[in-house]
Structure 1
């Protein structure tokens, strides 16, 4: 243990010395550029050679690995300096050279069967790279991308989870920092296109490489996690583009996640869950960003309904949980565009038809969530409690949608009063339907009866506590007459049914 700690510390200190030779010497004007570059490269090659010699000696495995890893990382940083600082190499040639050095380094680690060596190389490059390039730049992100791709082959057929993390995290973090810098500097549109390209490459290669690793070893947890991590930049890069571009990019990401989940049969549950989350977040952005505020709840609920139908037809739990998430976001958004104040005071009432459609769809989605949840045995034990919560929320959604419809159709206080009159009658009609269903269904008789009587009590309470004060004229008369007739019908119907049962 002590030997490993000392070897890693020595590698780190030596690599810092190489960086000082390449960067600080240039800043101080020591030597000439050619001498600095040649000295750094020669010293790095000497370290690789010395490491290979040490490795062959008895007890030299630890020292040889640390020394050779330091040399390879130094060579990589030398190429970065030649490309970025001195600009002696074209960027494309510099990236190819860096790719080759990284690939050769991890190939040596594979031949020596040493995950720590591969980790040391990539960690050294990740830590010292920003020092050489003077911070997080597009050039550095490009070099990290090359390293990310070049080091993948070392994972094939090997359980090297730490390598998976250390090859993915640097490019993801650097890209996210680059996106944050672009946002702060107001870099948008075509100027931000390189960040979009890099984000897409990292996401595509990250997910693709994880899928291949999982094909070989479905128990590889790190591969599943890194599939999600590699997609984070492409979820964030949309902040730099116009809404239509965000919809296009995130829509492609969502479709790609669906295709991978549907087509790749060997994906474990964790990977499916992570890709479902990534796809849902991408779809959330694709829906919300270009949509007007008052229509966002409707858009979210439409997506929830589609996912719910998919979960029902395909008995898919990931699709159900995505539908649940979009449904909850839609419900919260509906409370924003149609708050309780809009139900209590005509001055705050909304008159958007989008709110009307969202309220109706919210009630449908809530009912569907309970039904499909029972089908998939997700809410089976708490079905009654979930039904009560969904029923109460649906009642509010339908009532507020009805009031909004009245205001949108008629306008002003008159529309508000007409909407409340219709909402009371609507609630009473639903209560009657539940009571009638309870009479026909033995399995759900108790639940339907309880729900119907509860809703009847709520409707009558609203009639006397709110409508009696808020409504006027024919609307008040109409509400009382219709509700009264429905109550008479219900009482008569129940009396007849019980009489028939007693006679039989």
Structure 2
């Protein structure tokens, strides 16, 4: 039989059953911090800086050989071109040998990139400066040189090599020519890198291949907005479309393989920028509208594909790409709407766009589409305010000049937009907390839209007293709307208290606004039987609502007391 373990003896003065205190933990002594190595002493930093500097200086020398030597009369065209080609080929061969040696990767990459970029610049000079090659053939040769350079980068798995090849050729190409043909050679660089982006996840190459072509095209197009010959506008428009299409197609191909590649989507935004300002080159409104509409159609179709399940299953376009194309397409649609309308009809175009985006947002529960639709709502409201603001609505003379069928249609669409916006807000997740603010804002905007509609219809009829008829009808419509909302809220008082609270608050706000308008504006503006009709209609509706309001709360109190007695 095992012997029981002896119980430990308590310490003198210790309380029986208490947990003995823990011995103090000695403080940890930290050793001396290792000194940080200065950046200039880190492995590879200085070598990379020297390599890039050497590449830049060498390429500048190549450009001097091709351009400055020709201006000074040194050598002949053939020796200059042959010397540039032989020198570039020698650099590629030397860089390949250096790359295979120990520690030669940095230098080898820089030397090879210098050679390929120099060869590309040599092709540009042969095509543009000496005209030895037809532009089409010159672009084909340039594509082959660029493809060879980025092909070596893929083989060596070197993103810096691909980036240096593209940037080296793109940065110095404007020294050889500043004509629009420069854009074609930059687009060739952008196109040659698309297969590399599909096979390699190189985000820096996204920017390197897109920024030069997009920025150069943007500068040319922006200059053409001021003044440019008609024939050159066609070439610039073609270049802008090519940059946008190469950027968009390359992005779609890339993100189908790597859905998380956000850099590809961002470069699409930059690539489409020239097309967004291209309509400004055309002074004829129809040409500008056709360009903007075509751009909007293509971009919005790409965004819409992501929302159709069957098409999305095949296209596999991620959300960030769809968002970028949707925003760019919305900007192009805005340009088309502004170009195709006059100030009086612009609210109609903006509200139609808002209805489209808000409808899609509600159907797909898309916050991005809701944000774009909300932006169009704000723009449409501002333009409607501009053509039918309070100052115009309060003045008979100004209303008869500014209001009409266009403002009527715009105000009716504004009411439709409010209804769709409220429906969309209910379907979007996380929007319930802002319901009170939404309903108050919708009530105020609805009152304004109803007033514009009524006064515009009255003015559009051409009747001598159309202005006062419109204002009288607006006041009555305000009170009718308040009555309907209040009665709805009273019906939901027991079943849905939250909905009832919103409806009652909005209804009381509208009813109060109707009474204020009746005494502050209609009493001084309306005359004769119209003033009498407005006061009687508003008074009867107030009596109806007041009676129903009191009865509803009395019934609710009686029900609560009966439930208390039963309990």
Alpha-carbon distance in structure 2 between the residues aligned to 1:381 and 1:498: 26
Determine if the alignment matches structure 1 residue 347 to structure 2 residue 394: no
Root mean square deviation of aligned Cα: 1.8
Give distance in 2, aligned partners of 1:67 and 1:496. Answer: 91
Please tell me whether residue 462 in structure 1 is matched to residue 517 in structure 2: yes
Q: 1:417 aligns with which of 461, 465, 468?
A: 468
Cα distance in 2 for residues equivalent to 1:491 and 1:384:
23
1:286 to 2:336 alignment = yes
| Cα distance per residue 1:247-303 (max 9 Å; x no partner) | 333333333233323134533322221111011112112222111221011111012
Match status 1:213 vs 2:293? no
Separation in structure 1 between the aligned mates of residue 533 and residue 129 of structure 2, nearest angstrom: 83
Structure 1: gaps spanning 5 or more residues: none
Structure 1 residue ranges (4+ consecutive) displaced by more than 4 angstroms after TM superposition: 495-504
Structure 1 range deviating more: 83-92 or 26-35: 26-35
TM-score normalised by structure 1 residue count: 0.95
Q: Within 5 A, what are the aligned runs for 1:471-486?
A: 471-486=526-541
**1:370 maps onto 2:422 in alignment:** yes
1:151 and 1:44 mapped to 2: Cα distance?
20
Q: Provide the TM-score with structure 2 as the length reference.
A: 0.85
Which residue among 215, 218, 221 is the counterpart of 1:173? Answer: 215
In structure 1, the partner of 2:440 is 388
Between structures 1 and 2, the one with greater helix share: 1
The 1:396/1:68 distance shift into structure 2, 3 A limit, reads: same
Which residues of 2 match residues 217-236 of structure 1 at below 5 A?
217-236=258-277
Query: Which residue of structure 1 lines up, in the alignment, with residue 156 of structure 2?
Result: 112
Give the equivalent residue in structure 1 for 2:5. none
The answer to whether the Cα contact below 8 Å between 2:443 and 2:510 also exists between their aligned partners in 1 is no
Q: Distance in 1 between matches of 2:357 and 2:445?
A: 20
CA distance in 2, matches of 1:310, 1:297: 20
Q: 1:249 and 1:22 mapped to 2: Cα distance?
A: 39
Tell whether 2:317 aligns with 1:267.
yes
* Mapped partners of 2:381, 2:405: distance in 1: 17
Do the aligned partners of 2:361 and 2:370 also contact (CA within 8 Å) in 1?
A: yes
Deviation at 1:411, TM superposition (A): 5.0
Whether the 8 Å contact between 1:51 and 1:63 is mirrored in structure 2 is: yes
Name which of structure 1's ranges 451-460 and 91-100 shifts more when overlaid on structure 2: 451-460
Bigger Rg over Cα: 2
The CA deviation at 1:498 is 4.9
Decide whether aligned partners of structure 1 residues 208 and 264 sit closer, same or farther in structure 2, where only a CA change above 3 A counts: farther
**Deviation digits for residues 217-243 of structure 1 (CA, Å, limit 9, x no counterpart):** 111121111122211112221112333
Find out whether 1:198 has 2:253 as its counterpart: no
Residue 184 in structure 1 maps to residue 226 in structure 2: yes
Question: Please, which of 286, 289, 312 is the counterpart of residue 247 of structure 1?
Answer: 289
Q: Deviations over 1:72-123 (max 9, x none)?
A: 1111001101111111111001000100000001101111111111111111
Paired residues of 1:310 and 1:319 also in contact (CA < 8 A) = yes
Alignment of 1:20-99 (within 5 A): 20-99=64-143
Contact 1:363 1:394 in 2 (8 A): yes
Alpha-carbon distance, 1:426 to partner? 1.0
Q: In 1, Cα distance between the equivalents of 2:448 and 2:460?
A: 18
Farther-moved stretch of structure 1 (215-224 vs 141-150) = 215-224
User: What CA distance in whole angstroms lies between the structure 2 residues aligned with 1:287 and 1:219?
Assistant: 34
Q: Judge conservation of contact 1:301–1:361 (CA < 8 Å) in 2.
A: yes
Instruction: Classify the secondary structure of the residue corresponding to 1:156.
Output: helix
Q: Which residue of 1 aligns with 2:24?
A: none
Is 1:366–1:394's contact at 8 Å kept on the other side of the alignment? yes
